[in-house]
Structures are given as structure tokens and as C-alpha cells.
Amino acid sequence: MFKIAHLYPKELNLYGDTGNVYYVKYFLNKFGIKSGIYEIGIGDVLDDTYDFIFAGGGPDSLQNKIYQDFLTRKSFLIKHIHRGKPSLFICGSYQLMGKYYLTADKKKIKGLNIFDIVTKSPPDQKHRLVGNSIITLNESVIKPNYNFDTRIIGFQNHNGRTYLNSKVKNIGKSKNLYLGNNDVDYGEGLLFKKTLCSYLHGPLLVKNPQLAYYLLYDYLKNKKKVPMYNFFAEYISHKNILLKNES
């Protein structure tokens, strides 16, 4: 049984992020692999029996609520990530994977320091980075080995600007300078082994099954499952959104 840990689903669930864990379950089922979704709340046990970790983003008030508990998960997360096990962190949880988050009133909130990144929030809330994003995948880090679009799509809405140390790789380049990790470079998200961090909210993996494929590829290979799957329905939806955002 493939175990999917969904961290803080009650607090970090800003906009359809939950769809990602259901898609992992659905995706594996297509290969005949049974999986279970386990909701991990504040104080719940999180051990190395989990195969996939997911955490989303939430409103500031709820992120504050889980903050202390999330910090206690550091050693487990480092082990999981460095072993090359798949995980996905969206928006708020992505920001907390870095060194710190500098709030608009210059308060420094310590992160888990798993990745060499920092996030800073400008004083003016009016300049949130909001909109539909098209990201061209960084082919040096993701090489889709099947016939699928190398662009991913998603929707983002955040105030914090995340800056990656030059050694940290992003997922790809945003079409729009004002969307992505920040408003000074075109990079979006972060990729390390089989861990993806992104600002793209909602059912990211459903909208972009190539990311689910990338995250689960090694697992499928180990299980000697032929990594082939017909993404037709997801593909049509993906194309539809791409066309709308390009027009």
C-alpha cells in the first residue's frame, strides 16, 4: 500500500490543493497500485512509512496555527526528501521550507531551512502576484519522456516573493515576469530530487499530469510497472486552459 501523507488538510487548503492527493491516488490506481490518503494534523505521528508527502497553502491566520508543529517535522522531512521520495509543497508550505520569511512589517519568521531560499513580503498588499501562469518546464531538471506538453499551467495568488540561491533549481520559467517565485526573475517553484515546491495553487497535478508522472516515475519503475498511461481527459483540459491563457 502506497501511503500518502496530507499535512494539515484542515488548515492548509487554500484553494483546491486537496485535489493533488486524490490525483496521486487515482494515478497510481491506473497502474494497479493501491494507495491510501492519511490526514496528518497537529500532533499526529508522521513516520518513514509514508511514500508521498503533500502540504498546501493556507490563509495567514491558519498558517500561524500549524507553524510550531510544522517546525517539529524537520528531521523527518529532510530524510524523506534526501532519500528521493516524492513530495509536493504548495505556496505557504513551500515558503516554510526555506531559511526564513520576512513579513511586511520586517518580522523574521524562521523556516525549516531545508532549502537555501528566502521569502520576503513587500509592505503593500496591493501588489500580490496573482493570475494564471504558464510555466515552461526547465528541461534540465524535468525531461518528460513521453508525448506531453513541456508547459505546465496553474493559478497563483501570493504576496511573498521567494528568492532561490543560485544552486537551487526551479521547476521552470514563467511566461510572465510578475508571476512565479517573485517579480524579478522568471523562475517558478523549486525542484530537488523528487520534491516539488510551487506557487501554483489548486489541483496542480490534475492540471499537469506530467508532474505526477515525474514524481511517481521512480516508484513505478521499482514496482516494474510500465510507465505508460493514457492522459486523454487531462490532456484535453490542459490544452483548453493553455489556449485560453494564450489568447
Partner 1 sequence: MKIILYIISYFFIFIKILKVNLLQWGDGDTFAGYILEKTQIDFLSLFFKSVNSNYIFVTGTNGKTSTVSLINHILKSQNYSVLSNSTGSNLKRGILSAFINNLPKFYSKNPDFCVLEVDEASVPLILKSFPKNKIFSLMVLNLSRDQLDRYGEIDTLVVEINKSLKFFKNYNLILNKGPFFKHFVANPILVKKHILNNNLQNILKIKQYSHLSTNLDFILTLFDILNIKINLSSLSEFSFVAGRGSLYKKNNVSYEIHLTKNPVSFDNNLLYLSGKEYENILIFVNDNIPDGRDVSWFYDINYSYLKKILKNKSVYLAGTRSYDFYNFLNILNIESFNLFNLDNSFDFFKKTGAKKIFVLSNYSATMEIVKCLK
Q: Which of residues 160-199 bind partner 1 (CB under 8 A)?
A: none
| End-to-end Cα separation, the chain, in angstroms | 43
Q: Which of residues 220-239 bind partner 1 (CB under 8 A)?
A: 233-234, 236-237
- C-alpha 92/C-alpha 201 separation (Å) is 10
Name which position in 2, 8, 23, 70 contacts partner 1 (CB under 8 A): 23
Name which position in 128, 169, 173, 223 contacts partner 1 (CB under 8 A): 128
Residue type at position 69 = D
Asked if residue 122 binds partner 1 (CB under 8 A), the reply is: no
- C-alpha 148/C-alpha 145 separation (Å) is 8
Q: In 3-state terms, what secondary structure has residue 169?
A: coil
What beta strand segments (E) does the chain contain? Answer: 2-7, 35-40, 52-55, 87-90, 100-102, 108-110, 117-120, 129-137, 151-158, 161-164, 172-174, 187-188, 190-192, 195-198
The answer to whether 73 is annotated as binding is no
Minimum CB–partner distance for residue 113 and partner 1 (Å): 26
Question: Applying CB under 8 A, which part among 38-46, 103-111, 123-131, 180-188 lies near partner 1?
Answer: 123-131
Q: Please say if 158 is a catalytic residue.
A: no
For binding to partner 1 (CB under 8 A), which residues are involved? 13-19, 22-23, 25-26, 59-61, 125, 128, 130-132, 155, 157, 201-203, 206, 233-234, 236-237, 240-241, 244
Active site amino acids = 91, 201
